[in-house]
Amino acid sequence: MVRNLVGTLVEVGRGFREADDVRDILDSRDRRQAGVAAPPQGLFLMEVACQGESVPSCRSTEFYP
């Protein structure tokens, strides 16, 4: 899902889509309407938040000093 979102946002940034298209795509719940999935290299989850509350960090200091 993240790769689809990133790919779609890149298309918006390049002018191939309108910013309003992103909301429509999310509301449709149909990945086929999204842009080409971004490559996985360099993408990783930094934080999860729900209803305005941040989930406590569980980062390992081994990888993230």
- The 10s digit of each residue's pLDDT in 20-51 is 999 999 999 998 999 899 998 887 777 777 77
The answer to whether the CB of 22 falls within 8 A of the CB of 12 is yes
Give the three-class secondary structure for 10.
helix
Domain boundaries, the chain: 2-54
Considering the four listed CATH numbers 3.40.220.10, 3.40.50.720, 3.40.50.1820, 3.30.70.660, the one that applies to the domain covering 2-54 is 3.30.70.660
Residues pairing with 50 in the sheet: 53
Predicted TM-score (pTM) of the model is 0.62
